[in-house]
Amino acid sequence: MLYHNAWGIPPSIIFIIFALKNHLMRYKRILLKLSGEALMGEKQYGIDPIRLGAYAAEIKKVVEKGIQVAIVIGGGNIFRGLSGAATGMDRVQGDHMGMLATVINGLALQSALEMQDVQTRLQSAIKINEVAEPFIRRRAIRHLEKGRVVIFGGGTGNPYFTTDSAAVLRAIEIEADVILKGTRVDGIYTSDPEKDKTATKFDTISFKDVLQKGLKVMDTTAFTLSQENELPIVVFDMNKRGNLLKLVDGEIIGTTVNI
């Protein structure tokens, strides 16, 4: 006997509809990497609430599509360990200060998302139990499966590693489909498009070609880790409204780095 639901649609047809929907969805689980500088907006330092709210609105649209979202944010808008080391500060101390800066940014983004009714969890690689959960891989995955946004703060928890490395590491650990690196440019170019007007953009490029051409996508440690685990990276303009949603919907946005 062929059973029907309240709309009179056979279950087999419903299954096909959901299968097609999932097939058309480009990604199921993403890791969004944002720089700390991106949160400054038009400011010279700190966090621009307008830019923060705009990012939260963009992320909310993706969550509403049923895509699982994890986020890693840098801390350069507050403090950068390398800058501290350049002025004579101990590098390890400076990097720990930078890690704490990423937690501050994570708290700010968490607040902005929750103001838009997006359930969010902040996990830190450095134990700060009063403000963030400790990073636990299985717990993070469970949050994602429940539709919560998970923000990873504190970098990797170790000095001498950038938040790019933290982003790739966390993406591998949670089995993300892709790393989406939101920047202020719309992809990877043959040279810096802000300095060279003749620079041309790549729609797709291989890990091997990025290395051979000496193009800057991520730091070497992060990029190599992504390559070894065959984890694609998409570099795109996060500041253009709607880009994030278009990207996860399957449109060709930015530049994709793949095997």
86: in domain: yes
What is the domain-level CATH number for residue 150?
Answer: 3.40.1160.10
Q: Provide CB contacts within 8 A for 104, sequence distance 6+.
A: 75, 78
> For residues 160 and 96, what is the distance between their CA atoms, to the nearest angstrom?
10
What is the count of structural domains for the chain? 1
| pLDDT band (50, 70, 90) for residue 89 | confident
209: in domain: yes
User: Are 127 and 134 in contact, with CB atoms under 8 Å apart?
Assistant: yes
192: in domain: yes
What proportion of the chain, given as a percentage, has pLDDT over 70?
Answer: 90
Residue 88: domain span: 26-258
Q: pTM here? A: 0.87
96: in domain: yes
176: in domain: yes
12: in domain: no
Position 170 pLDDT exceeds 90: yes
Candidates 186, 232, 169, 239; CA nearest to 27 is: 232
Dihedral sign, CA of 78, 84, 90, 92? positive
Residue 193 has, within 13 A of its CA and on its CB side, a CA count of 10
120: in domain: yes
Structure confidence by residue, pLDDT tens digits, 2-28: 445 555 666 555 445 444 444 456 799
Between the CA atoms of 214, 252, 76 and 194, what dihedral angle is there, to the nearest 10 degrees? 60
Structure confidence by residue, pLDDT tens digits, 194-234: 888 899 999 999 999 999 999 989 999 999 999 999 999 99
8: in domain: no
